[in-house]
Amino acid sequence: MLLGRTTLSKFLIEQLRGTEDQADLAALLVDVTAAVKTIASMTAKGALGGYLGSLDSENVQGETQKKLDVLSNDAVIQSCEWGGLVAGMASEELDEPYRLPRAFERGAYLLVFDPLDGSSNIDVNVSVGTIFSVLRFGRVGEPTTADFLRPGAEQVAAGYAIYGPSTMMVLTVGKGTHGFTLDREIGNFILTHPDLKIPEDTSEFAINASNERFWEPPVQRYVAECKAGRTGDRGRDFNMRWIASMVADVHRILMRGGVFMYPKDTKEPAKPGRLRLLYEANPIAFVIEQAGGVASTGRARILALQPEALHQRVPVMLGARNEIERLERYHRAYDSGTDKPFASPLFRDRSLYSAEGRA
């Protein structure tokens, strides 16, 4: 049936009608979808379009850039800079915020994005994505880095595109989380997954288990209990998945439930996590919360964090409410020393502070 379908633009106009963001935010998100269609076309052509492989360049985080990282970054900038809707943009692939050319009118929003998430998967033809976050600028003039450092709770819209067997956009403007599928023949995103909800319980978790020895004890405890399954404290078996594209792992959780973790680890002690707050953790946390899930560092709500730097990293654990709350309990027990076998060394038996230690 081609008639009577709800396109993404119609859906956004209806959701935003009567709000202070009504015209411009919908128009900006439509510009983002134009970039997404370009990126979808490039990822689908793959080797035939000459799009695979790496460049000689590195981004500000010292990661080798793939050709598609840079092309996707250019696609988002070119789609969104001209329309008088944004005042500035910031991206994983740019050291500093992007300054709009003088010729273009300045708008009311700041756009922050990860143009291609999971780029280690490009050359092996596994799903990748684009993540975006929209903030209000709230003043006139040229945005500086400080203007982008706003808690995720202030986002007015956020979402991601996933380039999988089909291309989908999943987004929120603070009124639930909704999914749209690209109809390639017509070129429109069609509402196919309205009002997504993440079940409160799950038996599926996602984590890069090769980092296990670098995790903190509360995460080691949680994963050990999941792996012990029916024979352990949890009393039921768990399943594990890891795609190494956050977008794809998160999409699975929105479709069928689960928990995703990229916790703090000691592999690179200078980095307090792998994922970036402004263009990975915050937009995904907004989408997850609007679908009834929880997004946490293990110790704090992600959307409440005050960012300190554009490319700041944070620990991320998100998904099924009861599982994330359990992880937060394990962190509290560890931090307070009440979790005996897993507690901080300072509080363990025979340590300075324990009864046995003082005896």
**Residues at the interface with ligand AHG (CB under 6 A):** 63, 92, 114, 117-120, 208, 244-246, 262, 274
Rg of the chain in Å (alpha carbons): 21
For ligand AHG, give the closer residue by CB, 120 or 145: 120
Residue 244 partner contact from ligand AHG, Mn ion, none using kind-dependent CB cut-offs of 5 to 8 Å: ligand AHG
Count the residues of the shown chain that bind Mn ion, applying the rule CB under 5 A.
4
Residue 77 partner contact from ligand AHG, Mn ion, none using kind-dependent CB cut-offs of 5 to 8 Å: none
249 touching Mn ion, by CB under 5 A: no
Q: Which of 103, 139, 96, 122 is nearest to 310 (CA)?
A: 96
For ligand AHG, give the closer residue by CB, 30 or 171: 171
Measured from each CB, the residue nearest to ligand AHG is 246
For ligand AHG, give the closer residue by CB, 136 or 241: 241
Alpha helices per DSSP H over the chain: 8-16, 22-45, 67-80, 145-148, 217-228, 246-256, 282-290, 321-336, 355-358
92 touching Mn ion, by CB under 5 A: yes
For ligand AHG, give the closer residue by CB, 11 or 160: 160
Written as six digits, the tokens of 180 are 């749209």
- The whole-angstrom separation of Cα 98 and Cα 112 is 10
For Mn ion, give the closer residue by CB, 86 or 116: 116
Give me the least distance between CB of 78 and Mn ion, in Å please. Answer: 18
The residue type at 157: A
Q: Which of 131, 138, 132 is nearest to 106 (CA)?
A: 138
Residue 274 partner contact from Mn ion, ligand AHG, none using kind-dependent CB cut-offs of 5 to 8 Å: ligand AHG
Cβ distance 342 to 220 under 8 Å? Answer: yes
Residue 98 partner contact from ligand AHG, Mn ion, none using kind-dependent CB cut-offs of 5 to 8 Å: none
Cβ distance 306 to 149 under 8 Å? Answer: yes
Give me the least distance between CB of 57 and ligand AHG, in Å please. Answer: 14
| Contacts to Mn ion from residues 108-127, by CB under 5 A | 114, 116-117
Give me the least distance between CB of 201 and Mn ion, in Å please. Answer: 28
Written as six digits, the tokens of 234 are 């949890």
For ligand AHG, give the closer residue by CB, 167 or 188: 167
Give me the least distance between CB of 279 and ligand AHG, in Å please. Answer: 8
- The whole-angstrom separation of Cα 92 and Cα 110 is 14
Cα dihedral value 289, 292, 296, 298, nearest 10? 180
For ligand AHG, give the closer residue by CB, 8 or 327: 327
Which part of the chain contacts Mn ion (CB under 5 A), choosing from 43-51, 84-92, 138-146, 170-178? 84-92
In eight-state DSSP terms, residue 97 is P
∠ CA 192-198-199, nearest 5°, is 125
Tell me, residue by residue from 281 to 320, as one string, x for binding to Mn ion by CB under 5 A and - for no binding.
Answer: ----------------------------------------
User: Which residues are CB-contacts of 10 (< 8 A; sequence separation ≥ 6)?
Assistant: none
Q: What is the residue whose two structure tokens read 């793939």?
A: 66
Tell me, residue by residue from 227 to 246, as one string, x for binding to Mn ion by CB under 5 A and - for no binding.
Answer: --------------------
Q: What is the residue whose two structure tokens read 């009504």?
A: 22
For ligand AHG, give the closer residue by CB, 158 or 343: 158
Residue 93 partner contact from ligand AHG, Mn ion, none using kind-dependent CB cut-offs of 5 to 8 Å: none
Written as six digits, the tokens of 350 are 């025979």
- The whole-angstrom separation of Cα 234 and Cα 238 is 9
Residue 91 partner contact from ligand AHG, Mn ion, none using kind-dependent CB cut-offs of 5 to 8 Å: none
Ramachandran angles phi, psi of 51, nearest 5°: -95, -10
For ligand AHG, give the closer residue by CB, 181 or 208: 208
Q: Which residues bind Mn ion (CB under 5 A)?
A: 92, 114, 116-117
